[in-house]
């Protein structure tokens, strides 16, 4: 006769819940986005905060939806005011396959990613000005609120908006 095994019901439920939680957890490759106002250069940083690499894909930063009507000020002549700065990759150039040329007055930039490892960052500096009549050369977090970042990979896209804290988290999904 086999020995009889009894399981405490609460302990059994807790163990089952933990097992299901482990099964439900999946690897991801989410992208953290941060804007830092600076003088004379503003900075955008994109970091793979997930646990797996991001392969060939595209990131589009679009500041046209911002509350302050933001634009990129890349030359001394044109839509921007006072100081101007062209786009300069300052971190992660090796992770890029290509980057679109940004002209004065543009409000979007496309980064073509070759591969971005977990914890790796891509950052660039550029001058961002507002066109809403505030202090045009200084962009606060609330002024960039509503700008967006779209991640595209294998025909699927996901978009996240920057918050008033000048950050966003693009949920790329499981990998």
Q: What is the CATH number of the domain that holds 116?
A: 2.60.40
Per DSSP, helices labelled H in 61-159 are 141-144
Please state the domain count of the chain.
Answer: 1
Residue 22 domain flag:
no
> For residue 39, what are the domain limits?
28-170
Q: What is the spatial distance between Cα 80 and Cα 142, in angstroms, rounded to a whole number? A: 19
Residue 67 domain flag:
yes
Residue 21 domain flag:
no
Residue 146 domain flag:
yes
Query: End-to-end CA distance of the chain, in Å?
Result: 49
Residue 92 domain flag:
yes
Q: Tell me the sheet residues that pair with 124.
A: 44, 89
pLDDT tens for 69-111 read 888 999 877 665 567 899 999 999 999 999 989 999 999 999 9
Residue 5 domain flag:
no
pLDDT tens for 113-151 read 999 999 999 999 999 988 766 554 555 557 889 999 999
Residues 6+ apart with CB under 8 A from 69: 130, 131, 132
Indicate yes or no: pTM above 0.75.
Answer: yes
Residue 125 domain flag:
yes
Residue 8 domain flag:
no
């Amino acid at each position: 006769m086999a020995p009889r095994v009894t399981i405490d019901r609460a302990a059994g439920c807790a163990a089952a819940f933990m097992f299901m939680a482990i099964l439900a957890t999946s690897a991801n490759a989410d992208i953290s986005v941060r804007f830092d106002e600076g003088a004379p250069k503003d900075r955008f940083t994109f970091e793979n905060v997930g646990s797996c690499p991001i392969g060939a894909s595209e990131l589009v930063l679009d500041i046209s939806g911002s509350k302050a009507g933001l634009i990129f000020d890349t030359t001394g002549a044109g839509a921007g005011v006072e100081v101007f700065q062209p786009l300069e990759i300052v971190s992660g150039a090796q992770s890029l396959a290509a980057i679109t040329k940004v002209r004065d007055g543009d409000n979007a930039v496309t980064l073509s990613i070759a591969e971005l490892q977990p914890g790796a960052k891509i950052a660039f500096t550029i001058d961002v000005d507002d066109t809403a009549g505030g202090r045009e050369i200084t962009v606060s977090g609330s002024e960039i609120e509503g700008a967006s970042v779209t991640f595209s990979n294998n025909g699927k896209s996901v978009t996240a908006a920057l918050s008033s804290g000048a950050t966003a988290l693009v949920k790329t999904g499981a990998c």
